[in-house]
Copies of this chain bind each other. A is one copy, B any other.
Amino acid sequence: MSTILDVARLANVSAMTVSRVINGSARVNEQTRLRVQEVMQQLQFYPNSNARGLVLKETRLLALLISDITNPFFTTLARGAEDEAKRLGYRLIFGNSDENIGKEKEYLEMLLSTRVDGVLIAPSGDDSFENLQLLQNKELPFVIIDRDIPGLSCDKVLGDSLLGTHQIMEHLIAQGHRRIAYLSGSKHISTSRLRLQGYTEVLAKHGLQVDPSLVVETNYKLSGGQEAVQHLLQLTNLPTAIFAANNFLAVGAIKELREHGLRVPDDLSVVCFDDLDLLSDLNPFLTVAAQPSYDFGVKAVELLIDRIGGSATDHRQIVLPPQLIIRRSSRSI
């Protein structure tokens, strides 16, 4: 790989002049500029951003740390983040933490070494607090996405779990459901807790009690949904509807129900938070509170880059609204 010095020599100028041409950072004689550019072309010269980063203390590298890229919510979010990062001249490193705080920490340390300019993170849970404090200590800008962390002051892009849950629960109740199970993710994740809160609120509003046997805490994975349903099926008095706190839980739940010969929505209605994107195109099946996942990515990158640029002052929080989409997985009883 040729260096700025190779270019300089061939163009009969100093390295500084080449640097100025590359960055347009100062006036350069038109003649020399053309000559330099010609040589750069000829040498197929690409400036070493490693060296550049070393002196400038910026890498133009961002990181996106999510639990699992194969979750459509995060897939689309990643696409949004990548598009926006590219538009603004940044590249994106991505990592999957699998809802695991240890793995999350490993990544964060890797990223600290990489000297990324900033981090977008969907924290694995409240315990991520410590991990994020590390970033704060190191003054590495970050934005948390999708999941809030109590007591942590930082830039945030969140959904509205309460609103979405109200939409979903009111829908189920309007359809005549009274025994509604709630499949929760870990209670150490804000979205799980808020959706439980919303669930309780709506039931109360309609004079209904929470039946503890219908609230199952598991984790935001397909297997979590399957396990939760196995648990529910042991009840003598089955629920008529299941509200899953996220899409993976719902898919796992439906899969498990089918394996036990139960049909959705004939035997049980199933609804959840977060859409399935492509899946919904093919076969609009699941009733969901859909979140604008692409915008989550775009907005988060915007906040992050503002923060990096230093133009941001106070911490900002963006809340993106969910939208109830009624499809075939829920029915009147």
Residues of A within 8 A of B (CB): 1, 44, 46-51, 53-54, 59, 61, 68-70, 72, 75-76, 78-79, 82-83, 86, 91-96, 109-115, 134, 137-138, 222, 251-252, 254-255, 276-279, 281-283, 285-286
Contacts and interface: CB of A to CB of B under 8 A. Distances in A.
Given A79-B70, A251-B278, A50 B44 contact: no
Given A255-B282, A285-B282, A46 B79 contact: no
Contact of A79 (B68, B76, B113): B68
B277 A276 contact: no
A69 B69 contact: yes
Determine the main DSSP class of A at the interface with B.
helix
B115 A49 contact: yes
Given A138-B1, A282-B286, A96 B76 contact: no
B113 A46 contact: yes
Contacts of A49: 113-115
Contact of A91 (B76, B114, B252, B285): B114
A69 B59 contact: no
Given A82-B94, A255-B282, 6 more contacts: A1-B138, A48-B115, A50-B50, A61-B114, A91-B93, A279-B282
B82 A76 contact: no
Nearest to A225: B281
A298 B39 CA distance: 40
A247 to B, nearest CB: 8
Given A54-B50, A69-B69, A115-B49, A86 B95 contact: yes
B110 A91 contact: yes
Contacts of A54: 48, 50-51, 54
B279 A70 contact: no
A282 B282 CA distance: 12
A96 B255 CA distance: 32
Task: Please list the 7 inter-chain residue pairs (A to B) with the smallest Cβ-Cβ separation, ordered nearest first.
Answer: A279-B279, A46-B112, A50-B53, A46-B113, A251-B282, A49-B113, A50-B54
Contacts of A61: 93, 114
Contacts of A277: 70
B279 A44 contact: no
Given A70-B277, A96-B79, A113 B51 contact: no
Contacts of A112: 46
A137 B44 contact: yes
Contacts of A53: 50
Contact of A276 (B69, B75, B222, B278): B278
